[in-house]
Each structure stands twice: as C-alpha cells, then as structure tokens.
Amino acid sequence: MLIHLGNGYLVRGDDVIGIFDIDGETTPQITTDFLKAAQKKGECESAVLDIPRSFVLTGSKTEQKVILSHISSSALATRKKGY
C-alpha cells in the first residue's frame, strides 16, 4: 500500500512511523531541532514545490527519512487509515 505525499512522491504505508504538522507559529523548538538534524544527516527529502505543511517520518531496517509535504497532516493521516 502506497501513500501519496504530493508531487508524485509515494511511500509504503508500512514504513510510516509518524505524520506531523508544520506550522511556523506553533511548531515546538524540539521539532525544529529534529528537522535541522535530519537535514544535516541527509535524511530529509522534499515532496513540495512551495511551503511545507507537514512532514512524514519513515523508517525501514536500512534507513530513516523525513519527507516534507504540502499536504496537511490530517489529510495524510486519513490516507494512511484508508489503507
């Protein structure tokens, strides 16, 4: 089962660890620090052409990724539940 994160970017539903909201006004500092660390490690990818609204943390036995998406976290969560 694949989940569409935007701009043709797909991930396996089983690999999704969490779906998180990005709102510049309410994003806790720990989330900002986590995203910066993931970017430094090269674990951050983008499925957006404009400002991201959410990010998806995925993981498998071999790697972990943070994928930025322009789709809201609630819409992505609904897509995951649909599978």
| Cβ atoms within 10 Å of 4's Cβ, excluding its own | 14
pLDDT digit string, tens, across residues 33-53: 999 999 999 999 999 988 899
**3-class secondary structure for 33-54?**
HHHHHHHHHCCEEECCCCCCCE
Six-digit token string for 9: 């970017």
pTM: 0.87
Give mean pLDDT in consecutive 10-residue pieces for the chain, a chain of 83 residues. 92 93 82 94 92 92 91 91 70
Rounded-to-integer distance, Cα 74 and Cα 27, Å? 16
The one-letter amino acid code at 24 reads G
- 41 phi-psi bin (left φ>0, alpha ψ -120 to 50, beta other): alpha
